[in-house]
Amino acid sequence: MKPLAAVLMLLLATEPTKPSETSLGGLGGLCGQSYAQEDRRVPELLAKLDDDSIEVRAAAAVALIDLGKPALPSLKRLVPSAGVELKDRLNEIIRKIQDRDRLSSLLPPPSRISIDAKDRPLREVFEKLSKQTSTPIDYSQVPEDAKVTVTLDRVPLWKALDRICRASGRVMPEVENDHVVITPETYVELPGKITDLFCVTLQRLELSTEVVFGSPDRYDRFNATFHVSWEKGARPYHVTAHIAELVDESGSELVAAGEDAESVLMSSIAPDMIRQDFTLDSPHGPGPQALKISKLKVEIEFEFPLKYAEVKLDVSTGKVPAASSCAEFDVRLSRLERTEGALTASLVMVPHGPLEGEITGESVVLRDKSGKEYPAIVTEGTPGNESETPYQLTFPSAPEHQEFTEIQIRIPTEVHRERLDVELKDLNLK
């Protein structure tokens, strides 16, 4: 037994038996599970943090993060006596749990759906569900004669939707840009992963071979289109994703674990969006004759801002304002005028060090005397030197004869990254 185990035995004896209620609502928390069961897992998981296998250690870290706040006392107690490597690991887990906790206070709480229906009209069930979530749901296309029997007790939204549709068999949940539509079609279980916060579904796979005449080369490409959805108001700032592993039917690794696969980044996600699509490509595919994929693993990372740096430029005189700065960056306007009817400006930002975010449309807002806000369209210019980034700002909705007071520029300086691994096995391509 390793020295860690002795410490764990002690922890096991002193671990509180019931975590606080608030921690359960945290991001990715295993809500709905028994508290006592979670407590028992802590020492087991802590023991696994010192395992010889990387996979075991990583899985234990993820599980501890998922446990959230209840695991914090045990983790903190272990830090002083841990070796260098384990101490780093523990601190990283503690930081992530705390970040999640901070984030949960910034985001709306996830919906918990409770329904007990026995052979009830499907529309009535969706009506009940709609009343328990702020995410808009259009169930007008649900067949009037469809009935369902389903029991849900504090089930997260995406799981609830899936369970109702599955129980009915006659409808599918489709996530549009800013709302969910229940469509009348035979239920099919799409490959994917549903967590308390996110619903990731694999919508389409394309396997192609391209041959250029006169060339001996063949290009076998693979691409997978996913939808990722979240509840209204829980929009991430950025989403990045990449294929982490792709294995064909014969066991050949087309994308090997640990290989540097190209990531796609989705940014500028509009505030009312609840869905984002992304297509992941691999230049090595199994070819269009393949009938099965043994394994497809995708890693998705969601970024949520925790803290912002902010400056305000006084535009009340209608002239180019003086430069403004905060601890993280300086900004100055070199031009503020009407161009073809729209209020436009040239802005230069000088960061004092690396920033988590950049200036995007949602970072810039123009305010008038009454406090009304006007959004900006932001285009990045060509930097004149390494330390400065120029931007062109356009406020298309700013009325001509309005008195404006300030332009506010807000950039995330601290970001919480939430990772979601989606591992799909034995995908049928027939």
Partner 1 sequence: MIGAVAVLLLLLATEPTKPSEAALCGLGGLCGQSVPQEDKVAPLTRDLESAEVRKIYHAVSDLASLGEAALPAIEKRAQAAQGRTRDYLNLAADEIRSARLTTGVPPLQRLSMKSSDRNVVELLGDLRAKTGVALSLENLMGEEKLPEVPVDVRDVTMLEAFDAICRAGNVTVTMENGQFMLYQGDYQEMPRFFYDHYFFRLGNFVLLRTVDFRKPAVQSFKLQMEMLWDPAAAPCKFNPPVVVEALDDKGKNLIPPPPPPKKEPPKPVEPKPPGEAEEVEAESTSFLQLLPPSPAAEKLTVLRGYSTIGLPRTKVSLSFAEEPKKGERKEAAPPEKPQDPAAEPAPSPLDGMQRKSGDFTVKIVKVESGLFRITCEVSSATLKVEDIGKMPFLASVTLKGAEPTRSYVSLWSMKDTVAEVMISFQPLHLKEILVKAGDDRPVPPAPVEKIELSIVTAVQERKIPFEFRDVKIK
Binding site for partner 1 (CB under 8 A): 185, 188, 190-191, 202-215, 288-290, 427, 429-430
CA-CA-CA-CA torsion for 396, 401, 405, 410, nearest 10 degrees? 0
CB of 204 to partner 1, least distance (A): 5
Q: Hunting for tokens 């039917």 — which residue is that? A: 249
The separation between CA 416 and the C-alpha centre of its own chain, rounded to angstroms, equals 10
Token pair of 71 as six digits: 């695991």
- Nearer CB in complex with partner 1: 144/213: 213
Q: Nearest distance from residue 241's CB to partner 1, in Å?
A: 19
CB nearer to partner 1: pick between 32 and 288: 288
d(CA 48, CA 315): 58
Please return the burial class of 201, using the count of CB atoms within 10 Å of its CB with bins 0-12, 13-18 and 19+: buried
Nearer to partner 1, 10 or 429 (CB): 429
Q: What is the DSSP string of 231-279?
A: -TT---SEEEEEEEEEEETTS-EEE-TT--PPPEEE----TT--EEEEE
DSSP code at position 320: P
Q: Least distance (Å) from partner 1 to the CB of residue 208?
A: 4
Amino acid of residue 200: V
Q: Least Å distance between CB 207 and partner 1?
A: 5
Comparison of 250 and 317: residue with beta carbon closer to partner 1: 250
Instruction: Considering the complex, state which of residue 201 and residue 240 has its C-beta at the smaller distance from partner 1.
Output: 201
Q: Is the Cβ of residue 140 or residue 186 nearer to partner 1 in the bound state?
A: 186
If the CB atoms of residues 281 and 362 are measured against partner 1, the closer one turns out to be: 281
* Smallest separation, CB 278 to partner 1 (Å): 16
Give the residue among 77, 55, 78 at the shortest CA–CA distance from 3: 78
For residue 424, the minimal CB distance to partner 1 (Å) is: 11
151-162: b (≥16 Cβ within 10 Å) or e: ebeebbbbbbbb
Question: For residues 112 and 275, which CB has a smaller minimum distance to partner 1 in the complex?
Answer: 275
Report, in Å, the least distance between residue 342 CB and partner 1: 22
- Own/partner contacts of 388-392, CB < 8 Å, gap of 24 or more, are 388/348, 388/349, 388/350, 389/348, 389/349, 389/350, 389/351, 389/358, 389/359, 390/346, 390/347, 390/348, 391/346, 391/347, 391/348, 391/349, 391/359, 392/344, 392/345, 392/346, 392/347
Closest distance of CB 215 from partner 1, Å? 7
